[in-house]
Structure 1
């Protein structure tokens, strides 16, 4: 089943969800209300090939924990994403066994095309 991992309190995520084609068949997963599981994250990793690609360096906790001045490993990225939802780059779409991470314009064009 195709999925979107998002944050309901995020204005950008809400705007993106409103713009989705009306006939899409996505399972919605609010990562604050229902934290991602190790299985969810490992599926994302399998599709993306990297925990760093899934990690949000825009998160306020990233700055407040001074992580930008630390040398993080893939295991560190995985640990932080599982510890706190804010570290997952959002939204994450899984459509037809392909992953789309983040809200760049280019990424969202690919998502819309995949949802066709």
Structure 2
């Protein structure tokens, strides 16, 4: 199981603590492989882009209008987190339903 997120993110730390066997990848330091981004965009669509983030608020309208894949390639911290890859399944965020499905 892989968790993509930020090591400074409280939600990512909660997920990692609840999933002790998971491997953590920091999106800022390690990036996210293109095939993972493609699969996540196919699964979650625009929900993958965190429009409430500081990074998003710093972008101008022209930048925000770019395709999600380009935005995430240039600004990996725009990804909603954590993105959890568990075998063939993907989970986005650390809500109660995700926690129950994986930790529970």
Q: TM-score normalised to the size of structure 2? A: 0.79
Query: What residue ranges of structure 1 are gaps of 5+ in the alignment?
Result: none
Larger Rg: 1
Query: What residue ranges of structure 2 are gaps of 5+ in the alignment?
Result: none
Q: Distance in 2 between matches of 1:17 and 1:98?
A: 17
Q: Distance in 2 between matches of 1:101 and 1:44?
A: 9
Aligned counterpart, 2:75: 84
Aligned counterpart, 2:27: 31
Change over 3 Å in CA distance of 1:3–1:94 after alignment to 2: same
CA contact (8 A) 2:38 2:69 kept: no
Aligned counterpart, 1:110: 98
- Considering only aligned residues, what root-mean-square deviation do their CA atoms show, in Å? 2.4
Count residues with an aligned counterpart. 104
Q: TM-score normalised to the size of structure 1? A: 0.72
Q: Distance in 2 between matches of 1:42 and 1:71?
A: 19
